[in-house]
């Protein structure tokens, strides 16, 4: 009886501790739970979903120019080195590119002397767990999603996964990306070779 009571007590206190400890631990690995309440605007949700799917298909189809065009003129693609980085300014990053730097990357891989491009390679992206986190009064939309990228290069397979956080601007019939933040869950693992294009 006494033992049972004790266990009950522990469980009670564990409950109290668990959420915050858990939250903190998760924050450390960049996994904050989505802020979204269940979607109320399914039209918007579907529209965004289609946009994200299209973006990832462009990567897999190697349509770099179209991919860059999804970004606003002052848009940024950013993959932080650490999940706790709140801004790229002054911080090392896995990727930090505006449209100009993105076009350097594109022109490089399309250059006939990009030796690393002689190897056969392809990617396969899956995007899921889409949640609209915020719709601002100015029409800016914050979206969080999960991705999984499988990459084949010569005879090797690699996996990259993590969280996309898109800040989208409405256009007449679609969106433009103001910021795409990519938190690789394996950003700090040793890289077997490097990443040549966006994840």
Partner 1 sequence: MLQERVPNIAKLVEPDRVHRLCYADPDIFELEIRQIFEKTWQYCGHESQIPKTGDFWTFQIGRQPTVMVRGHDGNISVLYNRCPHRGVQVCGSRNGNAGAALTCPYHSWRFHLDGSIESVPLEKGYLGTRFDRENPAFHMKKAARVDSYRGFIFANLAADGPTLTEFLGEARIAIDDMCDRSPVGKVKVVFPCNRVVQRSNWKFFMENQIDAMHPSSTHMSTGQAAAEVERKIGRETGEKPLHYHMLSAFTTPFDKWDLLETVGYPYGHTILTGYMGLRPTDRDTLEHEAILEKAYGKAKKDEFLSRNIHHCLLYPAVSIQSPLQQLRVLRPQAANRTLSEIWHFRLVGAPEAIYRRSLWYFNLVNSPSTLVNADDLENWQRGQWGLTSDGGDWVSFHRDFGRDQDDGQVIRSTNGCSEAPMRSQFRAWLKYMTAGTA
Q: Does 185 bind partner 1 (CB under 8 A)?
A: no
Dig out the tokens for 152 from the structure: 């084949």
Q: Does 103 bind partner 1 (CB under 8 A)?
A: yes
Q: Does 93 bind partner 1 (CB under 8 A)?
A: yes
Dig out the tokens for 65 from the structure: 């120019």
Q: Which of 142, 156, 157, 147 is nearest to 199 (CA)?
A: 147
Q: In the complex, what is the shortest distance from the CB of residue 190 to partner 1, in angstroms, rounded to a whole number?
A: 4
User: According to CB under 8 A, which residues from 120 to 149 bind partner 1?
Assistant: none
- Beta carbons of 66 and 186 less than 8 angstroms apart: no
Q: Does 87 bind partner 1 (CB under 8 A)?
A: no
Report the residue number, 99 or 170, with the smaller CB distance to partner 1. 99
Strands 141-153 vs 156-170: parallel, antiparallel or unpaired:
antiparallel
Q: Does 100 bind partner 1 (CB under 8 A)?
A: yes
The number of beta carbons lying within 10 Å of the beta carbon of residue 107 is: 11
- Beta carbons of 88 and 194 less than 8 angstroms apart: no
Q: Does 40 bind partner 1 (CB under 8 A)?
A: no
Q: Which of 41, 128, 129, 188 binds partner 1 (CB under 8 A)?
A: 188
Determine the 3-state secondary structure of 46 from DSSP.
Answer: helix
Q: Which of 95, 164, 175, 185 binds partner 1 (CB under 8 A)?
A: 95
- Beta carbons of 195 and 188 less than 8 angstroms apart: no
- Rounded Cα distance between 53 and 114, Å, is 28
Region near partner 1 per CB under 8 A, out of 27-35, 63-71, 97-105, 137-145: 97-105
Left (φ > 0), alpha (ψ -120 to 50) or beta: where does 75 sit? beta
Q: Which of 1, 8, 24, 115 binds partner 1 (CB under 8 A)?
A: 115
User: According to CB under 8 A, which residues from 65 to 84 bind partner 1?
Assistant: 79, 81-82
Contacts with partner 1 by CB under 8 A lie at 79, 81-82, 90, 92-96, 100-101, 103-109, 111-116, 118-119, 188-196
């Amino acid at each position: 009886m006494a033992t049972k009571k004790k266990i009950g007590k522990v469980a009670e206190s564990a409950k109290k501790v668990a959420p915050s400890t858990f939250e903190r631990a998760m924050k450390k690995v960049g996994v904050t739970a989505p802020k979204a309440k269940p979607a109320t605007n399914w039209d918007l949700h579907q529209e965004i979903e289609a946009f994200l799917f299209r973006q990832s298909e462009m990567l897999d189809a190697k349509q770099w120019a179209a991919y860059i065009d999804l970004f606003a003129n002052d848009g940024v693609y950013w993959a932080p080195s650490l999940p706790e980085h709140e801004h790229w300014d002054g911080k090392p990053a896995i990727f930090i590119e505006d449209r100009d730097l993105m076009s350097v990357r594109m022109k490089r891989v399309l250059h006939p002397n990009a030796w690393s491009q002689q190897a056969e390679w392809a990617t396969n992206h899956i995007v899921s767990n889409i949640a609209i986190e915020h719709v601002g009064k100015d029409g800016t939309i914050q979206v969080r999603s999960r991705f999984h990228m499988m990459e084949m290069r010569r005879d090797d397979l690699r996996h990259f996964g993590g969280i996309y956080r898109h800040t989208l601007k409405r256009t007449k019939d679609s969106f433009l990306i103001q910021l795409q933040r990519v938190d690789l869950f394996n950003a700090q693992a040793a890289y077997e070779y490097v990443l040549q294009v966006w994840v």
